[in-house]
Chain A
């Protein structure tokens, strides 16, 4: 079954420390993976997707098909990075597409 696993509910770091939010997936096919973010009192929004290979707000994520992982990384965390982060897998079949989300990891960056 298609599944996304985020093993950490909470990740707490100090400002300037490196951050790695873990995401593992199971999918039979070629996966499309995303990171969505929800800042306090804001709506869920797309942060980045693996096909674009961009760095957004200093975050990067590399798809590792061998380890079935899509970890989100940032070398130096900022306080404004504190938010809820969701890894998601896009499934397109039967004429519709849906996102399969992990349970999310709360990142808390302390001054």
Chain B
């Protein structure tokens, strides 16, 4: 069974640039969620994708967007980067929306630094 994998592990961008982060979900999982974890904080929900559609979003602006592909892998895109976007971005997959809600399988994260 393959776990959740994310890429890249680290990256540095400058303010105003755009970034794309990638995630491969755990085998058999069709639901992917993205979380932002700022330094010293717990993860904060960005959005969730289910069967290639965004089905829920947290309190993040539209410049945070995503995609889910037919193989259930996912991307997180952030446009017009701001300094406060510096954080660890976590991808988490789950078996099914609503089923066993709360048991998420996390990747190791992509650490984004915005200068």
Contacts and interface: CB of A to CB of B under 8 A. Distances in A.
Interface residues of A, number: 25
Contacts, number: 69
B8 interface: no
Contacts of B104: 46, 99
Interface in A73-111: 86, 88, 90, 92, 94-104
A53 to B, nearest CB: 15
Q: SS class of chain B's interface: helix, strand, loop or mixed?
A: loop
A49 B42 contact: no
28 contacts: A4-B42, A32-B101, A32-B102, A34-B102, A43-B3, A43-B107, A44-B106, A45-B106, A46-B102, A46-B103, A86-B42, A88-B42, A90-B101, A95-B97, A95-B98, A96-B55, A96-B97, A97-B48, A97-B56, A98-B45, A98-B48, A99-B43, A99-B102, A101-B42, A101-B44, A102-B42, A103-B41, A103-B42
